[in-house]
Structure 1
Amino acid sequence: MTDRRSFLKRTGLLALSIPLLKNELFAAPFARKLPAKGIQLYMVKEDMEKDPAGTLKQLGKMGYTQIESYDGNKGVFWGMGNKTFSKLTNDNGLTLISTHYAGNSGGFEKLAAEAAEIGMKYLIYPWKGPQKGIDDFKRIADEFNGYGAICKKNGLRFAYHPHDYPYKPVDGQLPIDVLLAGTDKDLVDFQMDFYYTVTEGQDPEAYIRKHKPRFRLCHMRDVLKVRLPKGSEDESACDLGTGIIDYNHLLSTALDNGMEYFFVEQSRFFRETPLQSAAVNAAYLNTMKLA
């Protein structure tokens, strides 16, 4: 009797587990996550200036694993030197992937060597500003090729981060198209800021597909469902998942077309502090269901 009961118990449990196992087997190939969750430190710049160690510790606890720096008052390594800052990030479960930097060529070459020394992947040029004519953007493309060559010589990559102005027509052309065409794909990648692409009326997925795999990095923030009056370039930015951008679909497309690094970045907040928004955004990324 005992053997019979044990057999029925085992077969009953097996029968119950088959549907669950079947669901897991069929769901697994379609359930994807981002390779890592990143954040651009400019989002929490006031906290970083006051307490870099404490701020990095909080970001690590939120679940971020990658960071991108920028050239602020204390430099991209926050006044610590490249190795010391890299150790601090690593101690908090974070990897310094990239930094924004718009210095001169001499400073750029020095930074490229320091970045390569600690295993960084990218130096990113964040801002050139609107130009008078489209020929100016052609000149900038040549300049970016030069920066790309410097990075390649040092064993890392160069990228450009377009804001809103490259999506505004100049002399009948979009500067972003001129920059993509005029830069060497072996030397220059791009970091898409989804907010600017969408608010300027362009289709981010179309650009990502057409120019695969040149958009290797991104900045993520959402766009309010009801746009606010013009007041600043970021007047309608909001936390991820609270706006109009379908990030589940968008990031699935990005992953399929060569994008590797994903950074939360926001400069307008509905929370009391930027760190609270950082936590909300990190939690949202955990809920995503990428095809």
Structure 2
Amino acid sequence: MRPISPELHRRAFLAAGLATMTAGGASAAAQPFFKRHGLLIGIQLYTLAPDAAKDLEGTLKAVAGVGYRSIELQGLLGRSGVQMRAALDAAGVTCASIHVQGRGQLDGDLAKLADDLSAIGVKYAVMPSPLVSNQQIQAAGGDWRKALTLLTADDWKANADFLNEKAVVLAKSGIKLGYHNHNFEFAPLGSTNGMEILFEKTDPALVTFEIDVGWVAAAGLDPATLLQRYKGRVSLMHVKDIKSETQPNFALKMDPTEVGSGKLPWTTLLPAAYAAGVRGFYVEQEPPFARPRIEAARISHDFLAGLKA
């Protein structure tokens, strides 16, 4: 019997290695999106706002029971940072992102705010809507939503300046300031719009963005295209779905539904978001709800947990 040559040994070794690598790659690709990337499926607590207002501790435990381990808070809900951290710890969940209002929080005692957020473990503080002047609200007959339609390009530039200014202070505590969109930011202002102005006029080293893909779609735009355009500027995403009957608009209107039950193409959208730099994903659903909010949250979570993208 002829001995096997060293060359044949080498070829067999390489072939076995290639087969192992191929099998490993196929195995990884077969895993659901969030598991494959080692990401938590988060939820913005606004989804269960009435429940959280009545019983924060019980609501946190309920969403943890669904499977969520990452919470994005809708403000401090009347708690100190230490008290909120205790509630989160008791439920076995973490909070790396929180929504903070421009008026009453970001324009107030930033040192105290930073202390509260640091106690929780927050890394991102997100302004969920633009500053609107009292004069604009009065001109809109006291209707805040209508006042949003009165914002000019200069108003959006002023908002960008505000974000830059506050971001410098929060950065000293290791907290990055961000902005969260709705659909009114995309209303045309000549050759631009409010969202473009915010991206262009904020400092990339200081200010990040949380893209709400449901509101982007409600504006009649493609979220994946937006994410690609601003690659590297977006750290967080609201995972929100809308029904196909939603008509494009800039007036805070949508037909909401659970994630996976609407028209957004999640198998391509989630990889596009990851490629653009998004690492914080938070389910959020707008009212009205067709079922109890916790059940809607469960449907969205279970869809995403099993999604291969």
TM range (shorter): 0.7 to 0.9
**What are the within-5 Å matches in structure 2 for residues 41-56 of structure 1?**
41-56=45-60
Deviations 1:245-275 (A, max 9, x none): 0112101111122101111111224432111
Distance 1:229 1:164, change over 3 A: closer
Deviates more, 1:127-136 or 1:48-57: 127-136
State the shift of 1:22 in Å: 8.8
CA distance in 2, matches of 1:274, 1:88: 20
Q: CA deviation at 1:45?
A: 1.0
Q: Is the 8 A contact 1:193 1:218 kept in 2?
A: yes
Which position in structure 2 is the counterpart of 1:239? 258
| Structure 1 counterpart of 2:211, from 192, 200, 216 | 192
Confirm whether residue 278 of structure 1 aligns to residue 282 of structure 2: no
Q: 1:79 to 1:138 in 2, by over 3 A?
A: closer
For normalisation by structure 1, the TM-score amounts to 0.84
1:142 counterpart residue number: 161
Aligned counterparts, 1:211-290, within 5 A = 211-227=230-246, 233-290=252-309
The one-character-per-residue Cα deviations of 1:68-127 (angstroms, maximum 9, x if unpaired) are 1123xxxx1x33321121122122221011211113422444212221233211111011
Contact 1:269 1:277 in 2 (8 A): no
Aligned twin of 1:94:
93
Partner SS for 1:250: helix
Number of the residue aligned with 1:67: 71
Within the candidate set 163, 172, 186, 2:191 is matched to 172
Shift of 1:174: 1.5
Cα pair distance change 1:155/1:23, threshold 3 Å: closer
1:82: which partner in 2?
A: 81
SS at match of 1:159: strand
2:181 aligned with 1:154, yes or no?
Answer: no
Matched-pair contact (CA < 8 Å) for 2:218–2:253: no
Instruction: Quote the Cα distance in structure 1 between the aligned partners of 2:23 and 2:51.
Output: 42
Deviation at 1:32, TM superposition (A): 5.0
> Which residue does the alignment assign to 1:33?
33
Q: Which runs of 4+ in 1 moved over 6 A?
A: none
Per-residue deviation, 1:175: 1.3
Please name the residue that 1:120 is paired with.
122
**Deviations for 1:36-76, whole angstroms, at most 9, x for unmatched residues?**
011111110111111111111110011101111123xxxx1
Change (3 A) 1:130 1:94: farther
TM-score, normalised to structure 2, is: 0.79
* Comparing 209-218 and 110-119, the one that deviates more: 110-119
Which piece of structure 1 moves more, 30-39 or 235-244? 30-39
CA RMSD of aligned residues (A): 2.2
C-alpha separation in 1, matches of 2:254 and 2:160: 29
Kindly provide the amino acid, as one letter, of the partner of residue 182 in structure 1: K
Which residue number corresponds to residue 62 of structure 2?
58
For residue 124 of structure 1, give the secondary structure of its aligned residue in structure 2.
strand
Contact 1:48 1:55 in 2 (8 A): yes
Q: Distance in 2 between matches of 1:186 and 1:239?
A: 34
| Separation (CA, whole Å) in 2 of partners of 1:186 and 1:83 | 29
Separation of aligned partners in 2, 1:194 and 1:168: 16
Q: State the secondary structure of the residue aligned to 2:261.
A: coil
Residues of 2 paired with 1:32 and 1:187: CA distance? Answer: 33
Q: State the AA in 2 paired with 1:80.
A: R
Q: Partner of 1:191: helix, strand, or coil?
A: strand
Question: Given that residues 239 and 277 in structure 1 are in contact (C-alpha distance below 8 angstroms), is that contact kept between their aligned partners in structure 2?
Answer: yes
Q: Alpha carbons of 1:182 and 1:22: their partners in 2 closer, same or farther (altered >3 Å)?
A: closer
Q: Percent identity, please.
A: 28
Q: Describe the shift of the 1:93–1:173 C-alpha distance in structure 2 as closer, same or farther (beyond 3 A).
A: same
* Distance change in 2, residues 1:127/1:184 (3 Å): same
Partner of 1:17: none
Counterpart of 1:277, as a letter, is A
Do the aligned residues in 1 keep the contact of 2:184 with 2:252 (CA within 8 Å)?
Answer: no
